Amino acid sequence: MVNYDSFMVTLSTVFGASLLVERFLEFIKNISEPFIGGKHKRIIPPLKDVDRKIDELKKDIEAGKQDGEWDERYPLNTVLVEPATDPDDGTVSRAFVIQLMGFALGIVAAHLFGVRLFETLTGGSSPIAPWEDFLLTGLLIGGGSAPIHMLMRFVTRRKMGAPSGNGMDFSEEKENQEKPGTGEEPPVVDELDIPYSGGVDRDKLEWRHVRKENPTLIVYHHTAMKHNSTFEDVVRVIKSRKDSSGNHWITGYNCVIMADGAIKPFCRWDRYGNHARGYNMKSLGIAFNGNFETDPRIPNSNPDGRYGPSRPTEAQIKAGARVVALWTFLYDIAPDFDNTIIPHNKIAQKACPGSNFPYEEFSGWVEFYRNQWEKSPGMIKRIEAFKMKPYLYVSKSEK
């Protein structure tokens, strides 16, 4: 029999170790780039061009501050698709060597932290030798955080959804988890199923859209686009806009939630996006893909369903609520829906996120996830591990 809390604590330690290994490998990849991937070297401009480059960057930053808001008025007949992924700047040989290094570091980390996952999984009666346990645990750590995250999701589902006596001794009492606004039992929650590695064009944002401090405000939107448009559509349409200097935008919302509940980070979270003029620098912007404005007097509104459903799907609401709940933990933002978590229309003369957006239901789910996570030591540990990811916080040198 397996004790849920002890297993999740061990698994969270493994998850944290895998994040450390990932960050170290990222560092190794960056410093090895000039030696292995020569054709991908970054070219340092001559000293005589430095002042000109600095002036250009200053102009770009100022232009971004002035033009920092997406119109959220989208014609039906314009969908341009372009893959929203970063180009692969590595080589097969380098990736292979670095992955082998990751496995080696994982084994060392397992010994260093004294983590034996399979011993915990079997309740202390592991049929394999300790060195084998360290080896297998280390390989899991070296394989990256994604497989461990999937295992956490599986165990969490099993714990929350399975009846007692199913082969896993989850002895803690099942809490009465009611859906906000109803008396119904909610379905199993994937909780921290939130992928994040810097979003789209993270390298281009290294020296642009730099925040002065970490965000203190969350603004939620709708994209005003068709509900079945892709994330690539959203990225392309927003990046096709030009600033006052004629330069294309390089980013938009910090996160976009698709109709099927898929979570798509866009702008780096340690950088400000283009979503709420006058508030970009201190805020995070999350957008629900779709058009939820039903007033026919509003241009490009959706009174007849031509943009698709006039309210976000349940999967969208829950996914967006999980992202916002995570942000409140990451950046110590109070869950105040009057001052710190607000719709776009509260700070701008716009309908966004639409008159048919379920404001109370959304805020209820944010509070639901926050309350559940605060009560779970395993979830708190996972959030602390999430905080170790890159591209989350403003560095001291940037302040």
How far apart are the C-alpha atoms of 238 and 233, rounded to whole Å? Answer: 9
How far apart are the C-alpha atoms of 19 and 113, rounded to whole Å? Answer: 14
Classify 215 in phi/psi space as left (phi over 0), alpha (psi -120 to 50) or beta.
beta
pLDDT at residue 168, as a whole number:
40
How far apart are the C-alpha atoms of 198 and 382, rounded to whole Å? Answer: 18
What residue spans define the domains of the chain? 66-87+194-394
pLDDT at residue 275, as a whole number:
87
- The one-digit pLDDT tens for each residue of the chain (399 residues) are 566 677 777 778 888 888 888 888 877 777 766 555 444 444 555 666 767 767 766 666 555 554 456 556 555 555 444 444 444 445 667 777 777 888 888 888 888 878 777 777 666 666 777 777 778 888 888 887 787 777 777 777 766 554 444 444 433 333 444 445 444 444 444 568 899 999 999 998 998 899 999 999 999 999 999 999 999 999 998 888 877 667 778 888 999 999 999 999 999 999 999 888 889 999 999 999 999 999 999 999 999 999 999 999 999 999 999 999 999 999 999 999 999 999 999 999 899 999 999 999 999 999 999 999 999 999 999 999 999 999 999 987 666
- Which of these, 275, 263, 277, 238, lies nearest to 327 by C-alpha position? 263
pLDDT at residue 34, as a whole number:
58
Give me the DSSP letters along 204-228.
Answer: TTTTSSB-SS---EEEEEE--S-TT
Residue 242 β-bridge partners? 248
pLDDT at residue 175, as a whole number:
40
pLDDT at residue 102, as a whole number:
80
Contacts (Cβ under 8 Å, ≥6 apart) of 199: 251, 254, 255, 265, 266, 267, 268, 269, 391
pLDDT at residue 70, as a whole number:
55
Contacts (Cβ under 8 Å, ≥6 apart) of 137: 14, 106, 110, 115, 116, 117, 118
State which CATH number among 3.60.15.10, 3.10.150.10, 3.40.80.10, 1.20.1250.20 fits the domain covering 66-87+194-394.
3.40.80.10
How far apart are the C-alpha atoms of 384 and 372, rounded to whole Å? Answer: 16
pLDDT at residue 193, as a whole number:
81
Residue 53 β-bridge partners? none
Q: For residue 255, what is the enclosing H or E element?
A: strand 255-257
Q: Please tell me whether residue 35 adopts helix, strand or coil conformation.
A: helix
pLDDT at residue 5, as a whole number:
73
| Strand pairing report for 255-257 and 263-265 | antiparallel
Helix axes 377-386, 4-36, angle to 10 degrees: 10
Peptide bond before 353: cis, by omega within 30 degrees of 0?
Answer: yes
